[in-house]
Amino acid sequence: MTVATPEPKKKVNRIGLKQEIYRGGKTTLCAGCGHNSISERIIDACYRMGVNPDRVIKLSGIGCSSKSPAYFLGSAHGFNAVHGRMPSVGTGALLANRNLVAIGVSGDGDTGAIGIGQFVHLMRRNLPLLYIIEDNGCYGLTKGQFSPTADYGSKAKTGVVNDLPPIDTCALAIELGASFVARSFSGDKKQLEAVLTAALSHRGTAMLDVLSPCVTFNDHEGSTKSYAHARSHKEALEDLSFVPYFEDIEIDYEPGTTQEVEMHDGSRLYLKKLEQDYNPLDKMQAIQALHETRSRGEFATGLIYVEPKKADFIDVLNLVDEPLATLPQNRVRPPESVLSEIMEGVR
Ligand SMILES: Cc1ncc(C[n+]2csc(CCOP(=O)(O)OP(=O)(O)O)c2C)c(N)n1
Ligand code: SF4
Ligand SMILES: [Mg+2]
């Protein structure tokens, strides 16, 4: 007699969803493209945090990176904006519906070149949005031209040497007022997932620059955005662990070696200090660390700067609690008498 073994129960997260719900369409990007690993980590982070995909809006501009929202959270809302214009679309969406969870994916070209003006104003407004730059130092979609994050002296596949200095999007974001700024590498699974989960619990703009090699146009010797270069030149500022508010985990640590940062929702970040005594709550130290590592030809990774309790754009505008999009007409439209009064006043 054969006894049927029961099907193993599929695991679900805290809102009862299986991990596959967080997947999207099959990727059309090149095999080995760093952007695909980032999509995987977004899926893991949203699953762990129990983000409801129905409440998510995925936003992007134009580029291989900007195509990637199609490959995660298939049931979420999505808006693929014009090149470099994702921030204004995101601002409109969040002001219309403050209950949305906004995840924006951009590229180093989409952000640093055509979209730099919109990026600047997004950072200073502290809109509650997770903004990910999938940074490969080139315009992958249009065949690998240097982008504004390409390092000085970096060599293109054609042999051309970049003779312009790069824009450091993290330093720029900190200077402009972003309240959560991190840098990671698509090949560093543990760090990237920790940073993404922390970013999802942050209220305000979380800006993540993720080094994401383009295997087709920028993964050769002489490139400073290749897998080999990233692996040998990344310098973690701290060893990061994230404990969401709904997980009852106690972390044991030696006093003086680990810093605890509490997020606005009660989640906790544990930052185990590595060789230097780094404090991501200190803006000046953050900018200095970016400059110092860059001058050594390295790039700092981890949580670079955080200001967990800064007022976000929704607070600053003092918006009503209910999303504007679902308020009834009589609450969004001034009555005839008020309009007449205004007209009287301008006669
Ligand atoms: C208004 C406009 N200008 C130029 C282009 C051409 N274009 C498409 S993608 C792209 C750059 C993409 O680079 P990046 O944002 O770094 O994305 P990647 O493909 O590297 O992921 C450019 C210049 C365009 N689509 N629209
Ligand atoms: S061209 Fe480069 S950036 Fe675009 S999908 Fe291929 S590897 Fe990725
Ligand atoms: Mg790019």
The structure tokens listed for 62 are 């134009």
Whether the predicted pLDDT of 302 surpasses 90: yes
Of residues 34 and 339, more confidently modeled: 34
Would you say the CB of residue 138 lies under 6 angstroms from ligand 1?
yes
Would you say the CB of residue 136 lies under 6 angstroms from ligand 2?
yes
pLDDT of residue 276: 74
pLDDT of residue 279: 93
Pocket test for ligand 1, best of 62, 65, 210, 215 (most atoms within 8 A of CB): 62
Would you say the CB of residue 134 lies under 6 angstroms from ligand 1?
yes
Pocket test for ligand 2, best of 26, 27, 29, 212 (most atoms within 8 A of CB): 29
pLDDT of residue 254: 76
pLDDT tens for each residue of 186-233: 999 999 999 999 999 999 999 999 999 999 999 999 999 999 999 999
Place of tokens 């982008």: 147
pLDDT of residue 109: 98
Long-range contacts of 317-323 (CB under 8 A, 24+ apart): 317/95, 319/95, 319/98, 323/96, 323/97, 323/98, 323/99
Would you say the CB of residue 314 lies under 6 angstroms from ligand 2?
no
pLDDT of residue 133: 98
Q: Which atom of ligand 1 is nearest to the CA of 35?
A: 21
Whether the predicted pLDDT of 166 surpasses 80: yes
Q: From the CB of residue 334, how many other CB atoms can be counted at a distance below 10 Å?
A: 10
pLDDT of residue 2: 57
- The strand pair at 299-306 and 180-185 is best described as antiparallel
Q: Closest-lying ligand to the alpha carbon of 143?
A: 2
Q: From the CB of residue 175, how many other CB atoms can be counted at a distance below 10 Å?
A: 16
What distance in angstroms lies between residue 292's CA and the mean position of ligand 1's atoms?
30
Task: Write down the mean pLDDT value for the chain.
Answer: 95
**Cα(203)–Cα(89) distance, integer angstroms:** 19
Among candidate residues 127, 60, 119, the one with its CA nearest the CA of residue 98: 127
Would you say the CB of residue 218 lies under 6 angstroms from ligand 2?
no
pLDDT tens for each residue of 76-118: 999 999 999 999 999 999 999 999 999 999 999 999 999 999 9
Would you say the CB of residue 132 lies under 6 angstroms from ligand 1?
no
pLDDT of residue 253: 77
What distance in angstroms lies between residue 237's CA and the mean position of ligand 3's atoms?
25
pLDDT of residue 8: 67
Would you say the CB of residue 38 lies under 6 angstroms from ligand 2?
no
**Cα(342)–Cα(347) distance, integer angstroms:** 9
pLDDT tens for each residue of 266-287: 999 999 988 678 999 999 999 9
Q: What is the DSSP letter of 303?
A: E
Residue 188 bridge partners (DSSP):
none
Q: What sections of 143-188 are H helices per DSSP?
A: 169-176
Span 8-29, average pLDDT: 94
Let me know: does 56 contact 78? Beta carbons within 8 Å.
Answer: no
pLDDT of residue 237: 94
